[in-house]
């Protein structure tokens, strides 16, 4: 690998989707580099698998709707369980949820508005409704196998001619005015070296220079690091998110999709008597951190919130879990477009937990911008990083 057409940095769902669309639309010499192609630490490998379109910003609804429709077309391939999302709101967020239901309907999604009484009547296991002002039920949403989504995008990208390069870490860029002329790559020899590099505890030795015509920063939680190497302002940060596997023989959620509590705790049926549950403590510090607090996290953060909503959860059994990373932007919406101040570097990152559910459409949007000079299928211009300097934030309150 020396001179290439497009160098995509990051082979998660977003980088893979960008590569797929670029190659499918005729771009030549598309290369995707990643320190760990297997993705042991990638966000698409460690998330909860939920896909939904109940956002409040039009561009986020549109990207999610288009991607979920694509996932529905390949449902068997990605284990798409279209069982919906039940989202409960307190008095603070409920008026906003009602106000934005029309937007979601206008963009092609069914939204039911439920009272607390409706929730208790239709979801009998939810028998403690204190603090619930109302809920939305969005039946087109659901759950997927995120790894299968990523691998499906990669397979399609390869079939269209894109190349994926493992154990390659970007360590620098050479500029010529507004143009990046070369990218410095360090080659990692094994999984241990890749892990140390990704966790920031070791710098690899040796490097090679690559000379791409265009570059895409799709490096997920490491996007701020890449932006720093580019000399570009960072508008995002990585933050830890923990999920636990729990079990109960007293609660049947097998036909229900994701349930989100007013507290921000969430759970869904995983298989058999097992559920996946998560919660994001607001005080968690920014940074690359894969530490999982195990039973202590379950006991302090999850169990009280779950049993506070469903009395049968008092007999919940803890079985394990893990930690992954969100790439959070300043306003909770993705950053997508041309990097301000550079003429041949694009970015698609900071999806703030919605990478899988926006991957297909976001990749399409960026590929159209790169190859045609504009957005064709969905207008994603609002996601440009220029919005931060202009004060045009796209705030999203419904993150978990």
pLDDT recorded at residue 219: 96
- For residue 153, pLDDT over 80 is answered with yes
Which whole number is the average pLDDT over 6-20? 98
Over residues 74-88, the pLDDT tens digits come to 999 999 999 999 999
Q: Which of 6-10, 202-206, 372-376 has the lowest mean pLDDT?
A: 202-206
pLDDT recorded at residue 1: 65
Which whole number is the average pLDDT over 29-35? 96
- For residue 193, pLDDT over 90 is answered with no
Which whole number is the average pLDDT over 116-130? 96
Q: pTM above the 0.85 mark? A: yes
Which whole number is the average pLDDT over 25-36? 96
Question: Rounded to 5 degrees, what are φ and ψ at 236?
Answer: -150, 170
23 near 163, Cβ under 8 Å?
A: no
CA 266 to chain centre: 16
Over residues 214-269, the pLDDT tens digits come to 999 999 999 999 999 999 988 999 999 999 999 998 998 888 999 999 999 999 99
- For residue 50, pLDDT over 90 is answered with yes
Which whole number is the average pLDDT over 113-126? 96
**Percentage above 90 pLDDT, the chain:** 86
pLDDT recorded at residue 2: 82
Rounded mean pLDDT of the chain?
Answer: 94
Over residues 318-347, the pLDDT tens digits come to 999 999 999 999 999 999 999 999 999 999
What confidence category does residue 42 fall into, taking pLDDT thresholds of 50, 70 and 90? Answer: confident
CB count within 10 Å of CB 270 equals 18
Q: Please tell me which residue, 195 or 371, carries the higher pLDDT value.
A: 371
**Percentage above 70 pLDDT, the chain:** 98
Chain length of the chain:
400
- For residue 204, pLDDT over 90 is answered with no
């Amino acid at each position: 690998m020396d001179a290439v057409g497009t160098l995509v940095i990051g082979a998660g769902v977003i980088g893979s989707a960008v590569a797929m669309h670029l190659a499918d639309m005729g771009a030549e010499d598309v290369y995707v580099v990643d320190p760990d192609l297997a993705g042991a630490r990638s966000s698409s490998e460690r998330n909860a698998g939920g896909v939904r379109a109940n956002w409040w910003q039009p561009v986020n609804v549109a990207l999610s709707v288009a991607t979920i429709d694509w996932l529905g077309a390949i449902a068997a391939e990605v284990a798409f369980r279209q069982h919906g999302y039940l989202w409960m709101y307190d008095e603070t967020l409920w008026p906003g949820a009602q106000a934005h239901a029309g937007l979601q309907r206008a963009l092609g999604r069914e939204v039911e508005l439920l009272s607390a009484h409706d929730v208790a009547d239709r979801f009998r296991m939810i028998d403690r409704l204190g603090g619930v002002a109302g809920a939305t039920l969005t039946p087109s949403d659901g759950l997927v196998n995120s790894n299968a989504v990523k691998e499906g995008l990669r397979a399609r990208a390869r079939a269209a001619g894109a190349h994926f390069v493992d154990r390659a870490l970007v360590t620098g860029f050479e500029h010529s005015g507004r143009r990046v002329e070369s990218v410095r790559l360090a080659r990692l020899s094994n999984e241990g070296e890749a892990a140390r590099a990704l966790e920031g505890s070791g710098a690899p030795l040796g490097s090679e220079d690559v000379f791409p015509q265009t570059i895409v920063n799709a490096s997920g939680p490491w996007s701020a690091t890449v932006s720093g190497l580019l000399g570009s302002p960072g508008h995002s940060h990585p933050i830890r998110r923990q999920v636990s596997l729990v079990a109960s023989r007293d609660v049947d959620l097998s036909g229900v999709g994701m349930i989100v509590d007013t507290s921000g705790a969430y759970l869904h049926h995983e298989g058999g008597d097992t559920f996946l549950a998560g919660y994001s403590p607001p005080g968690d510090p920014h940074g690359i951190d894969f530490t999982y607090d195990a039973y202590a996290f379950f006991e302090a953060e999850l169990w009280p919130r779950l049993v506070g909503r469903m009395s049968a959860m008092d007999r919940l059994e803890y079985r394990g879990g893990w930690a992954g990373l969100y790439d959070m932007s300043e306003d909770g919406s993705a950053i997508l477009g041309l990097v301000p101040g550079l003429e041949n570097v694009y970015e698609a990152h900071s999806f703030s937990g919605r990478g899988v559910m926006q991957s297909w459409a976001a990749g399409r949007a960026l590929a159209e911008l790169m190859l045609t000079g504009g957005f064709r299928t969905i207008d994603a211009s609002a996601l440009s990083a220029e919005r931060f300097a202009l004060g045009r934030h796209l705030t999203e309150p419904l993150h978990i």
